[in-house]
Amino acid sequence: MDSQGGRLERKNRVIVGAQWGDEGKGKVVDLLSREADIVARFQGGNNAGHTIVVDDNKYILHLIPSGIIHPGKVCLIGNGVVLDPFVFLEELDTLKKVGIDYQDRLFISAATNLIMPYHRALDGLEESGRGKKGIGTTGRGIGPSYQDKVKRTGIRLADLFDEERLTEKIKTHCENKKYMLDQLPADQKVDCASLVAKLIGLQDIFRPMITDASLMLHEATRSGATILFEGAQGAMLDVDLGTYPYCTSSNTTAGGALTGLGIGPSMINEVIGIVKAYTTRVGAGPFPTELHDEIGEKLQKQGAEFGATTGRPRRTGWLDLVQLKHSCRINGIDKIAITKLDVLDCLDEIKVCTAYELDGERIDNTPMDMMRFKDCKPIYKTFAGWDRSTEGVTTYTELPQKAREYVGYICRELNVEMLLLSTGPAREHTVMAPNG
């Protein structure tokens, strides 16, 4: 049930972050999972964390789809994900400790590529080698794992069940990467033989979970199941369409759901974009509306803007409609879920970027060359603050008039409908749109 006693319409939805990640996708996926039968993750790895708050209990998930919190929901990790098997085991242990049963409802594509310890080691070496030109990687081995995938040398989950093939692949990787791995300190050295033995020892854990994700989703759809497609990171971190090279190594946009799970576009009924009421970004890279003043610090503090995966403080800034229009276009966003509106309660005035100035000219779209993004100067429209708490509000009419004006302006400018509005971290701190 939604906060007004109604029900969400059952349809296959893709959930994407519309900014640079950390928009609050975990909560939205948790809410929309109620009306889905299957929740399927389609890209990324444990370089992102989804935080869910239920009855004062906080759950932070990195690999397992957020729908696992709901009893009876089937969760699927697709081939577009890169999965660290040892981090995955830790996440399973966390679920066990809090009494969440995942047996017979958590599955992984046989084609999912695995992150190996040497991927993590290489990630750190490569980032440190960039010096001041670092791209802000989390150091979790995501990029090097995707590199091996694209080179067609990656280790897939299916390889765990062929000891000879796995041994040969690990051996080849260790030999080919030796020149870099030799630079590691003694306590980070990779023992190939020991790694193979550890991976083979995981067979019994992964055997009940391995599946043909594409076939599973196809058969489920024919049986009338409703699917929620869950992404990680945000659209502006997409390796093709984001702020390259300051991005992640996968397709974080809605198109990634197709290739990351082996489905056709006809299986998707609606694309939901998650929009934080202001903007944040973690790590390096351009950020036109970034605030370097006390307002930025206030947003960081009020919004608890620290990474769920790394703990790194997030950079904060005003909402950027130019960037959001770009996201709406490249994702085909139908509706938006606006999160963290309550964080803005403390501000006397709120700014929204409506255009950029680049080389002395006004532009209404992101620059064609994403390397010019750093040279864009924001042009702002200013709104009066509402000077009233919106935390925990559950109906639209309860919102202050100025807050409604702010939300309405965003939707009109983006030419999208609002699905929901989040006014706090808990499930019940949500305003559902009447047509949600």
Q: What's the pLDDT tens digit per position in 92-146?
A: 998 998 899 999 999 999 999 999 999 988 887 777 767 776 776 777 889 999 9
Over range 235-262, report the average pLDDT.
96
* H or E stretch covering 321: helix 321-331
Flag whether pLDDT at 61 surpasses 60.
yes
Asked whether the predicted pLDDT for residue 88 surpasses 50, the reply is: yes
Region of poorest pLDDT, from 110-124, 132-146, 246-260, 286-300: 132-146
Q: What pLDDT does residue 186 have?
A: 75
pLDDT at site 262: 98
**Higher per-residue pLDDT: 155 or 121:** 155
| SS3 state of residue 2 | coil
In this prediction, residue 23 carries a pLDDT of 95
Nearest to 231 by CA among 345, 69, 81, 412: 81
Between 27 and 155, the more confident residue is 155
Looking at residue 30, its pLDDT comes to 87
Predicted confidence band at 2 (pLDDT cuts at 50, 70, 90)?
A: very low
**Helix (H) or strand (E) run with residue 176 in it:** helix 163-176
Full-model pTM: 0.91
What DSSP element (H or E) covers 143?
helix 142-150
Supply the residues annotated as catalytic: 22, 50
Q: Is the bond preceding 425 in cis, omega lying within 30 degrees of 0? A: no
What percentage of the chain has pLDDT greater than the value 90? 74
Q: What does the pLDDT read at residue 308? A: 62
Q: What pLDDT does residue 436 have? A: 54
pLDDT at 3: 40
Predicted pLDDT at 122: 85
Percent share of the chain, pLDDT over 70: 94
Measure the CA–CA gap between 357 and 336, rounded to whole angstroms: 27
List the beta strands (DSSP E) in 208-358: 210-211, 227-230, 270-276, 279-281, 315-317, 319-320, 335-339, 349-358
pLDDT of amino acid 388: 92
Residue 31: is its pLDDT beyond 60? yes
Question: Quick one: pLDDT at residue 136?
Answer: 67
The residue with greater pLDDT, 351 or 309, is 351
| Fold category of 13-110+212-432 in CATH | Adenylosuccinate Synthetase; Chain A, domain 1 (3.40.440)
- Spatial contact of 120 and 140, defined as CB atoms under 8 Å apart: yes
pLDDT surpasses 90 at 363: yes
Average pLDDT score over residue span 254-281:
97
DSSP 97-134: HTT---TTTEEEETTPEEPPHHHHHHHHHHHHHHGGG-
Q: Which of 16, 50, 14 is nearest to 275 (CA)?
A: 16
pLDDT digits (tens, 9 = 90+) for 365-409: 999 999 999 999 999 999 999 989 999 999 999 999 999 999 999
**Residue 5 pLDDT class (50, 70, 90 cuts):** very low
The whole-chain average pLDDT of the chain stands at: 91
Distance of alpha carbon 99 from alpha carbon 119, whole angstroms: 32
pLDDT tens digits, residue range 170-206? 999 988 888 888 877 777 777 888 999 999 999 999 9
- For the segment 210-216, the average pLDDT, to the nearest whole number, is 98
Sketch the domain layout of the chain as residue ranges: 13-110+212-432, 113-206
* pLDDT, position 258: 98
Task: Tell me what the mean pLDDT of segment 7-12 comes to.
Answer: 72
Topology of domain 113-206 in CATH is: Adenylosuccinate Synthetase, subunit A; domain 2 (1.10.300)
